[in-house]
Structures are given as C-alpha cells and as structure tokens.
Amino acid sequence: MRDDELLQRWFLTGAERGNDATRLPAWSRGNRVRPLVDGATYFPALAAALDATGPGDLVLFADWQGDPDQRLTERGPTIAEALTAAARRGAVVKGLVWRSPREWQRLVPTRRRHLAQRVRGGAQVVLDQRVRNSGSHHQKFIVIRYAGRPDDDVAFVGSLDPAHSRRDDSAHLGDPQPLAFGKAYGSHPSWHDVHAEVRGPAVADVETVFRERWEDRAPLSLLPWQVFGDLLRRAVRRLLHRPVPLPPPLPAPVAGTGGSCAVQLLRTYPPRRPRYPFAPEGEFSIAAGHAKALRRARRLVHVEEQFLWSRQVVQVFADALRAAPGLQLVVLLPREPKRGGIAAPPLVLGQVHALRLLRAAGGDRVHVFDLENHDGEPVYVHSKVTVVDDVWACVRSDNLNRRSWTHDSELSVAVLDETRDRREPADPAGLGDGARRFARDLRLQLLREHLDRPGPRGDAQDADLLDPDSAVDALRRSAAALDAWYAGGRRGPRPPGRLRVHRDPVLPRWQQFLAAPVYRLVLDPSAARHR
C-alpha cells in the first residue's frame, strides 16, 4: 500500500474535515513527534525550549489554566519567569488563556488573570472568553519559532497545563507544588498525563491555530463585570478587541532528518455568535477523526481518559466493538472524579452509564483499570490518549465526552508514523496497514510504566506486550495480582504494577434522580448535533 493511500484510510481528508474556511492543511508529513509522558518530562523540555529563545523568535501559547508560580524544573524558573525572560531577550511572546465566567464574585486576580499579569517584559497574555455560552477554551499548546533556525522549531500539544500538581514523574509521588482536589488523592495528589513534542512542518500548522484565534476580532468577553473590571485595572484599554498584529509567519519548517510521522491536527469549535471567522459553522474534526479511525479497529484500542461519558461519544467505541468481534478495548480512568461535593454524583452517573453501554457492546472484551502508586494512593489520570491497533495514535486535549466533542474549543494531534515497526505481530489488525513505530512505542511506553517494567524500547520484556491479546492478558494478570494482595490483607511483598480493576461506584436512587439533569444540562452540554 502506498503511504498516501494509507493516510487517506486513517486521516480525515479536507472534505471530511467539513470546514472550508480553515487555513490548515489536511495533514503534514516528515515530522518528528516525541511523546512526553508525565509533567516531569514535559516541563523541563519546555523550559529548555524557552531558554533557547532570543531576539526575533516567536513564542505563542494557549491554555485552559495556569499558575504563574508553577516551576518547570526543581530549581529552575516558574512558567511566568520563563516566558518573561524570553520576552526580555527579544522574543515576541503572546498568550491566550481561557477566562472562567465564575470569576464575577472575586475582587482579586484569579489564577488565570494572575498569569496574564505576571508575564511581563513586553509579552501580551490575553484572557479569552470568546466561547459559546457555558463553554471554555480547553486547548493546551505552545509554539516556539526560532528566527533563522527552523530545524529547532517546536510545538508542544496535549493535555498538560502549566499548573500546580502537573509536574509529577513516573513514580507518581506528586508535584512539590500540589493542588488539592479531593480527600481520595491526599495532600500531594499523584498525576499521570501525556503531551506531545512536534518538530517539522506541523509546527506551522499549530501556529496557524493560534493565529486564527488571536486574529478573531470578537469582544474578549461580553460579561459586563469582566469588561468593566478589566478596564478599571487597565488589563484592556478598549471595549472592542483589536488584536496586536503578529509578525508575519515564517516559512513552515521542512521535513527533517528522521521525520517519519504524518500529523493531522484535530479540533473542536462550536457554532458561536459572533461566528468564529475560521470556523463559521463550527468544527468537529476530533469527533470525525475518532469515528474514522475506529471504523478500522480490529484488535486493540488503548484509551487513557480523565472523563468518559456521553452516549453520543461512547457509541462510536461501542459500534467499533460490535463491528469487530475480536476487538478489545482497554480504558484507564481515575479511581474517583476530581471534583467533590455536588458535582461528583453527576460525574459518576455519566461515567457509569458510559461503561454500561461499552460492556453491553463488548462484554468481557472491555477492560477498565485505574492507577495507584506504590504507597497505595490513587493516581489521578488526566492523560488523554487513543491508540488504535498500533497504527493511529492521538494525543488529545479533548475528553471523551460531548462537551469536548461539540462545545469547548479543543486541539488534538493525530499521528501516523510512515515507518513500520517490524516486531511481530507486524500487522496486528490484518488489514495490511502494519504496526507503526510511533503508535506502538507510545502504547508500550505507557504499559511499561503501568506494569512497573522500566527499560528502553526493544527490551525483551516487551515481548508479551506486542500482541494485543497477550498485552491485555498481562494487564489483567497484573491488576488481579494487586487486587488479590489487598484482599489477602497485604501479606508478603507488594506485587509489581500500578493497575487496579476499576470498580464502578454505586449511587443511591435519590442521587441518580437529582444528578441526571445536572449531568445533561450543565456538565455535558451539546453545542451541535454530534457528527
């Protein structure tokens, strides 16, 4: 099979993306993509990339939230200090950070506004509320372009915010700068996450995503308490948004040595009034991209996910399970939702319904796990990853729920490595697509961490993880051994591994009755018909 035919089989074509207004190409080829598993891997890479900036360079970032004092390394700069230093060295630094409408009662700067105020040196960070009602900007990326050094250009895309609790490592003992979010996770919550480092032509595509949002001339907020509060604090100088022009875009980086990955950027933008200029009818390529990839799924879909709910979203996975009798689905979830109080029952209700739908479709081919560290404390799973048959991999900002697929702005990176992985099975799905290096390496790296198998790629310990069926058996055996150790009173050495079989919580009927409308109307709204 020719490579361009392979990409058309797995990636959305321009017509399938369904948005003629965007300036994004369908995909780019010749990229180098590296998975950055856990914040302690991502933050130092980000710090090094920012430290290398100088006069004429360009730093563009968008985030859902940020803490200006979050350190990127143990003794290194905070995120605000690193961005400020880049601006003072002469780099152009611009940022878009979502602004929550719940700030109206607060008279002091919140975390998001505080980040906007703490990045200085001529940088400009904008609080962006140009979203659909009750929506958010959930994109999390940064683009760094080096003047005269295109080979060094880099984009970081995924689910990691520069915020407290994220700088955890594979041991999962927590970030020294913790964010408490529930008794179950203790005072130093453990955090598992995944980001992607992209180098090559796709960097220019990520830059285009930023430029399209930056150049949107809609008011930054229509909420009067925000608009006039910003005017009083001189956070903005006029009621109408007039974006400061960005420097002209540099030529796209050329395909570099070792750049074997084709990259497609997938997005969600809801229909909005006033319309997004670059997506006047909205864009739902994240939903469409998953639907297309899952139609080719035959052996194993590996998912790591913070949330999992919405019949419309889960139905795509259920359809794949019904269409392929040999397909297995592995899902990694948090043991308990992050939020407590009144929000917890609706979150639990949505997830329980989703898992029931999946099990009705796949039965014992659906395997759901959660994580804990070696101290027995649950690890909060914030990673958003989908790997299909070791061919197509997606590192996501979006959650697997209706909100992320229709209502909030999202940016995810789908990767199809044009280099085959020759280890057996060389074509697990049997469709002639072959196992691909990036997707297989990402899945194996994640499984090695969860199973306590340290070691480099190609180590003999990967042998039972290559075949989908034996990989699932390894996960089930590890989780069963740890569950049995607890059931037996924790006698003897703790078995290796961090996986536990996920137990669905049971909600009393009265909680289900009260939670259902909150789940449907507040936590998981729909902005458009699911595609």
pLDDT, position 340: 60
d(CA 396, CA 385): 6
Whether 281 and 247 share a structural domain = no
Place of tokens 């453990």: 190
Instruction: Name the domain boundary from 259, 276, 295.
Output: 259
Q: Is the pLDDT of residue 109 over 60?
A: no
Is 310 found in the same domain as 254? Answer: no
Q: Does residue 421 register a pLDDT over 80?
A: yes
Which domain, by its residues, includes 76? 3-259
pLDDT of residue 179: 87
- Flag whether 528 is in a domain: no
Say yes or no: 267 and 253 in one domain.
no
531 domain-assigned: no
Tell me the percentage of the chain whose pLDDT exceeds 70: 89
Residue 323 sits in the same domain as residue 308: yes
C-beta separation of 394 from 413 below 8 A: yes
Within this chain, do residues 186 and 321 fall inside the same structural domain, yes or no? no
Could you list the beta-strand ranges (E) of 315-408.
Answer: 328-332, 366-372, 378-381, 385-388, 392-395
| CA–CA distance, 235 with 244 (Å, rounded to integer) | 14
Q: Are residues 225 and 359 in the same domain?
A: no
Give residue-wise pLDDT tens across range 359-406: 999 999 999 999 999 999 999 999 999 999 999 999 999 999 999 999
Residues 6+ apart with CB under 8 A from 153: 143, 144, 145, 146, 199, 203, 253
Boundary residue ending a domain (259, 293, 309) = 259
Q: Which residues of 60-83 are buried (b: 16+ CB within 10 A; e: fewer)?
A: bbbbbbbbbebbbeeeebbbbbbb
Given 197, 231, 259, the domain boundary residue is 259
For the segment 459-469, the average pLDDT, to the nearest whole number, is 87
pTM: 0.94
Residues 274, 255 within the same domain:
no
Q: Bridge partners of 304?
A: 332, 385
Please, are residues 65 and 29 in contact by the beta-carbon 8 Å criterion?
A: no
| pLDDT above 90 for 99 | no
- Domain contains 530: no
At residue 111, the pLDDT reads: 61
**DSSP of 13-36:** PHHHHT-TT----S-EEEEEEEEE
Six token digits for residue 396 = 């996501």
pLDDT of residue 462: 84
Residue 401 inside a domain? The answer is yes
CATH code of 311's domain: 3.30.870.10
One domain for residues 154 and 296? no
What is the DSSP-derived secondary structure letter of residue 436? B
pLDDT class of 19 with cuts at 50, 70, 90: low
Question: Do 202 and 302 fall into the same domain?
Answer: no
Asked if 186 and 285 sit in the same domain, the reply is: no
Mean pLDDT of 324-341: 88
The answer as to whether 154 is a domain residue is yes
Q: Cα separations (Å) of 432 from 184, 231, 413, 427?
A: 46, 60, 24, 6
60/379 Cα distance (integer angstroms): 31
Per-residue pLDDT tens over the stretch 480-528: 999 999 999 999 999 999 999 999 887 788 777 777 777 777 777 765 5
Is there a contact between 89 and 81 (Cβ–Cβ < 8 Å)?
no
89 and 209 both lie in a single domain:
yes
User: In terms of domains, do 336 and 213 share one?
Assistant: no
Any domain includes 188: yes
48-70, pLDDT tens digit by residue? 999 999 999 999 999 998 999 99
List the structure tokens of 252.
């796209």
Do you find a cis peptide bond into 251, omega within 30 degrees of 0? no
Query: For the chain, what is the domain count?
Result: 2
Least confident of 135-149, 188-202, 414-428, 509-523: 509-523
Q: Can you give the pLDDT at residue 530?
A: 42
